[in-house]
């Protein structure tokens, strides 16, 4: 009998989560048996979430894809037969060549997001390959682009706070983020601040886990946050709680904004938001009188028609009270300090036609059904659009097209993969070398392979590098090794935070902090002389108000409209605790903990509709419908419904997911997704 082995490795969590935790992984006899936190990680400190403790169940899942497969049944049916990589690659490349000859490369569309956050396996060989091919480009907008641009519209940059400084905060607002589930190490830092006397306020549309943990919960109608922020500014100005010197020295447009604030007295703001007038006034006073005050801006509140402007407006608040002067003051939407040189990594210069069309990923359904010239080949990796993309009825109808050839590269037979003509097995990140940045903390990390590729699985890197060779692409960039790519990630002369990290040191230590010595973060950053744009002229060109403003979402109710139309509900569908978007939605123990897809409804609405706890209801609108189990709760406002989690479609009673309802409109900034500006009707289901 061979001897059993047990080894402990370090790794990094690759999921699309701000925390990018350090992991400690035990491998016994070639299998991962335990995943815990790395106690030596400077910010995640040995603590990880429940989902990732279940990673062994994911990596060694019985249903993991282990070899390439070709479809034998109907699209969507999920019937496949095993084929070899040779056959799969031959079929892909011959189809690509044929499509390019007959219809042009634009007939091919890649579709990917952040299933794996590793920079090598996300945004290098894949992009180079599709650029060189001349395929249609994909505008990756589904997550945070509106909010990110909104933050930049005020600050000029993507955010420059070291979250570790938030232990110094004394008044904390978590605004539109469910951080107990989605950014747990920020919660740990806020707990430290709380021990020093900090108060924590949550502003959200429903009493989520984070609201229950906080000291105060302020509840408002969806998409009305800009009005609330303007109402707070109105009170700050009226009660002279502003830092005039800061406004003079560091901002542009205070006088114009001051005029604007007259339109947002607490009485009016209360009618729009549903927040009592007294609460608005008290909130503004507490915020204005406590320093350092800090706002953690979540992602949820920007999934609205007016999401960019909401974030832009909230981002103005700290400037009014001069909070950027203090460690632990200010606001954070996401850490934008790791800006890599995308031209070098993605090589858009390889495009044969630089004017090739670009398709906004939130329009996938439309694009598959209506694009002219048509999309004839779809290549999906690192994403599961059948479950996560808006206007799902169109997405599924598009994926079902007989004349569309779909390739899906994934670890599992996802809802999208069921529609594929070819399914390719992907490695887990434990099987790859990669480099990771966080969109919250300030550390860059490397993780080495700790398992051999399972079955015949290939990494994204290997897949696209091999396809490039097979297509006959001879550019040297297709010879780059994973190490070469990590060097290129660090090599961005425009970003000293990154470029001063030494490759050898990173490979040796596996975790290195960004270099912020050149006043990269606040408060030191104030010395750079950049101005905060309370008035931003450049927004006018995009048809937006140069000043912060509230505009109601394009459909549904707010505090003012709710009473007029009690049968129209606003539907919010944020991520749940145990899944990561749709990833982990197939892990039995985590499914069990979440129960089933539910719909939270206020007791008054439930009574009016004759609905009790546990009944099945159907919600619908002009885009589609979805059946869910009711949870009657006063955690939501009358007129608002909440369904948590992106479940696999088979978890819904009628196989239709929550994204049947969501619109594929673009937000006010960046073409972002507006998942939560969704109006629905509701009835008891049979």
Ligand X SMILES: Nc1nc2c(c(=O)[nH]1)N[C@H]1C(S)=C(S)[C@@H](COP(=O)(O)OP(=O)(O)OC[C@H]3O[C@@H](n4cnc5c(=O)[nH]c(N)nc54)[C@H](O)[C@@H]3O)O[C@H]1N2
Residues near Mo ion (CB under 5 A) are 143
19 binds ligand SF4 (CB under 6 A): yes
Cβ partners under 8 Å of residue 630, min gap 6: 598, 599, 601, 606, 611, 612, 613, 614, 615, 616, 617
The DSSP call for residue 157 is S
* Residues in 9-28 that interact with ligand X by CB under 6 A: 16-17
Q: How far is the CB of 585 from ligand SF4 (least distance, A)?
A: 14
CB of 217 to ligand SF4, least distance (A): 23
3-state class (DSSP) for residue 551? coil
Q: What is the DSSP string of 519-547?
A: T-STTGGGGG---EESS-GGGGGGT--SS
Taking CB under 6 A as the criterion, which residues in 52-81 touch ligand SF4?
A: 52
Residues in contact with ligand X, counted by CB under 6 A, come to a total of 59
> Out of Mo ion, ligand SF4, ligand X, none, which partner does residue 20 contact, by CB within 5 to 8 A per kind?
ligand SF4
Nearer to ligand X, 379 or 535 (CB): 379
Q: Which is nearer to Mo ion, 445 or 582 (CB)?
A: 582
Site string for ligand X, 527-566 (x = CB under 6 A): ----------------------------------------
**Minimum separation from the CB atom of position 394 to ligand X (A):** 14
600 binds ligand X (CB under 6 A): no
- H or E element in which residue 247 lies: helix 244-250
Q: How far apart are CA 646 and CA 654, in angstroms?
A: 15
Residue 16 vs 237, nearer CB to ligand SF4 = 16
Whole-angstrom Cα distance, residue 298 to residue 286?
A: 21
CA gap 410, 463 in Å, rounded: 12
Q: Are 437 and 66 in contact (CB under 8 A)?
A: no
- Asked if 426 is part of the footprint of ligand X (rule: CB under 6 A), the reply reads yes
Distance of CA 623 to the CA centre of its chain: 23
Tell the smallest beta-carbon distance from residue 142 to ligand X (Å): 5
Query: Given candidates 25, 32, 48, 228, which one binds ligand SF4 under the rule CB under 6 A?
Result: 48
Least Å distance, CB 47 to ligand SF4, is 8
Residues 106 to 165 in contact with ligand X, rule: CB under 6 A: 113-116, 121, 142-144
- Give helix 277-289 / helix 225-238 axis angle, nearest 10°: 60
Q: Indicate which single residue of 676, 679, 680, 682 sits in contact with ligand X (rule: CB under 6 A).
A: 676
| Inter-residue contact 49 to 22 (CB < 8 Å) | no
CB-CB neighbours of 487 under 10 Å: 15
DSSP string, 278-329: HHHHHHHHHHHHSSSEEEEE-SGGGSSTTHHHHHHHHHHHHHHTTGGGSTT-
Contact partner, 161, from ligand SF4, Mo ion, ligand X, none, Cβ < 5-8 Å per class: none
Q: Does 205 bind ligand X (CB under 6 A)?
A: yes
Measured from the CB atom, the residue of 388 and 667 that comes closer to ligand X is 388
Nearer to ligand SF4, 51 or 631 (CB): 51
Residue 581 as a binder of ligand X (CB under 6 A): the answer is yes
Per-position x/- string for 177-206, each x denoting binding to ligand SF4 as judged by CB under 6 A, each - no binding? -------x----------------------
Task: Establish if 105 lies at the interface with ligand SF4 (CB under 6 A).
Answer: no
d(CA 500, CA 436): 16
Contact call for residues 141 and 673 (beta carbons, < 8 A): yes
What the block records as the tokens of 136 is 């249609």
Which 3 state secondary structure label does DSSP give 641? strand
Q: Does 13 bind ligand SF4 (CB under 6 A)?
A: yes
Q: Which does 68 bind (CB under 5 to 8 A by kind): ligand SF4, ligand X, Mo ion, none?
A: none
Instruction: Give the C-alpha separation, 469 to 200, whole Å.
Output: 55
The pair phi, psi for residue 680, each rounded to 5°, is -140, 160
> Do the beta carbons of residue 363 and residue 371 sit within 8 Å?
no
Q: Which residues ranging from 580 to 609 are in contact with ligand SF4 (CB under 6 A)?
A: 580
Among ligand SF4, ligand X, Mo ion, none, partner that 21 touches (CB below 5 to 8 angstroms by kind): ligand SF4
- Contact between residue 99 and residue 377 where contact means Cβ atoms under 8 Å apart: yes
- Applying CB under 6 A, which part among 13-21, 277-285, 497-505, 652-660 lies near ligand SF4? 13-21
Instruction: Give the residues across from 486 on adjacent strands.
Output: none
Looking at the Cβ atoms of 432 and 621, the one nearer to ligand SF4 is 432
Helices (H), 73-183: 85-103, 125-133, 145-155, 179-182
CB of 296 to ligand X, least distance (A): 9
Give burial (CB, 10 Å; 0-12/13-18/19+) of 534. buried
- Answer for which of 10, 11, 20, 309 binds ligand SF4 (CB under 6 A) is 20
> Rounded CA gap, 651 and 637, in Å?
26
Nearest distance in Å: CB 456, ligand SF4: 27
By CB under 6 A, is residue 328 in contact with ligand X? no
Task: Tell me if the bond preceding 593 is cis, omega within 30° of 0.
Answer: no
Provide, rounded to whole angstroms, the least separation between the CB of residue 299 and Mo ion: 6
Residue choice 152, 270, 583, 600 for contact with ligand X (CB under 6 A): 583
State the nearest-atom distance from the C-beta of 25 to ligand SF4, in Å.
12
Q: Judged by CB under 6 A, which of 10, 11, 21, 137 binds ligand SF4?
A: 21
User: Which residues of this chain interact with ligand X, rule CB under 6 A?
Assistant: 16-17, 113-116, 121, 142-144, 175-179, 181-182, 203-206, 208, 222-223, 225, 298-301, 304, 381-384, 387-388, 409-412, 414, 426, 460, 572-575, 577, 579-583, 646, 658-659, 662, 675-676
User: Which residues of this chain interact with ligand SF4, rule CB under 6 A?
Assistant: 13, 15, 17, 19-21, 48-49, 51-52, 184, 580
């Amino acid at each position: 009998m061979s001897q059993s082995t047990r080894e402990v490795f370090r790794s990094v969590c690759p999921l699309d989560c701000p925390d990018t935790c350090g992991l400690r992984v035990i491998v016994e006899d070639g299998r991962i048996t335990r995943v815990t936190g790395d106690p030596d990680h400077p910010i995640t400190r040995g603590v990880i979430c429940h989902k990732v403790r279940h990673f062994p169940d994911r990596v060694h899942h019985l249903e993991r894809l282990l070899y390439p497969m070709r479809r034998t049944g109907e699209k969507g049916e999920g019937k496949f037969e095993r084929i070899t990589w040779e056959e799969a690659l031959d079929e892909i490349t011959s189809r690509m060549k044929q499509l390019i000859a007959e219809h042009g490369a634009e007939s091919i569309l890649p579709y990917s997001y952040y299933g794996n956050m590793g920079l090598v396996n996300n945004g290098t060989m894949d992009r180079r390959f599709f650029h060189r091919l001349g395929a249609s480009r994909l505008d990756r907008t589904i997550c945070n682009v509106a909010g990110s641009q909104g933050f930049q519209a005020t600050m000029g940059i993507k955010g420059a706070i070291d979250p570790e400084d938030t232990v110094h905060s004394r008044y904390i607002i978590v605004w539109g983020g469910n951080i107990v589930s989605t950014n747990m190490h920020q919660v740990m830092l806020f707990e430290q601040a709380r021990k020093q006397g900090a108060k924590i306020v949550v502003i959200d549309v429903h009493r989520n886990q984070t609201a229950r943990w906080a000291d105060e919960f302020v509840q408002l109608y969806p998409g009305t946050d800009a009005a609330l922020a303007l109402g707070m500014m109105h009170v700050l100005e009226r009660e002279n709680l502003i830092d005039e010197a800061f406004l003079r020295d560091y901002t542009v447009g205070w006088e114009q904004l001051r005029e604007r604030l007259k339109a947002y007295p607490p009485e009016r703001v209360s009618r729009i938001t549903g927040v009592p007038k007294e609460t608005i006034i008290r909130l503004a006073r507490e915020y204005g009188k406590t320093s350092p005050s800090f706002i953690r801006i979540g992602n949820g509140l920007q999934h609205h028609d007016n999401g960019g402007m909401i974030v832009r407006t909230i981002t103005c608040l700290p400037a009014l009270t001069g909070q950027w002067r203090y460690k632990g003051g200010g606001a954070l939407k996401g850490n934008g300090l790791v800006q890599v040189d995308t031209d070098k990594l993605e090589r858009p210069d390889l495009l044969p036609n630089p004017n090739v069309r670009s398709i906004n990923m939130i329009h996938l359904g439309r694009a598959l059904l209506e694009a002219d010239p048509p999309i004839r080949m779809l290549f999906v990796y690192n994403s599961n659009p059948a479950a996560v993309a808006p206007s799902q009825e169109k997405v599924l109808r598009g994926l079902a097209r007989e004349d569309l050839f779909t390739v899906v590269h994934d670890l599992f037979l996802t809802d999208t993969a069921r529609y594929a003509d070819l399914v390719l097995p992907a490695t887990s990140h434990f099987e790859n070398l990669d480099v990771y940045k966080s969109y919250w903390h300030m550390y860059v990390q490397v993780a080495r392979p700790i398992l051999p590729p399972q079955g015949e699985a290939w990494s994204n890197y290997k897949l696209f590098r091999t396809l490039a060779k097979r297509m006959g692409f001879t550019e040297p960039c297709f010879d780059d090794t994973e190490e070469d790519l990590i060097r290129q990630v660090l090599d961005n002369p425009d970003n000293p935070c990154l470029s001063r990290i030494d490759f050898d040191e990173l490979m040796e230590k596996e975790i290195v902090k960004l270099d912020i010595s050149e006043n990269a973060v606040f408060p030191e950053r104030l010395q750079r002389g950049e101005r905060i744009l309370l008035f931003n002229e450049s927004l006018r060109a995009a048809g937006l108000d140069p000043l912060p403003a509230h505009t109601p979402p394009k459909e549904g109710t707010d505090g003012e409209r709710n009473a007029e139309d009690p049968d129209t509900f606003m539907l919010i569908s944020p991520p749940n605790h145990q899944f990561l978007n749709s990833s982990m939605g197939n892990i039995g123990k985590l499914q069990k903990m979440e129960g089933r897809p539910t719909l939270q409804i206020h007791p008054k609405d439930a009574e009016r509709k004759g609905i009790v706890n546990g009944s099945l209801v159907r919600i619908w609108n002009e885009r589609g419908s979805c059946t869910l189990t009711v949870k009657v709760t006063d955690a939501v406002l009358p007129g608002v419904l909440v369904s948590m989690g992106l479940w696999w479609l088979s978890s819904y009673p009628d196989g239709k997911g929550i994204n049947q309802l969501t619109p594929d409109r673009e937000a006010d900034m960046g073409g972002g997704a507006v998942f939560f500006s969704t109006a629905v009707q509701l009835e008891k289901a049979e």
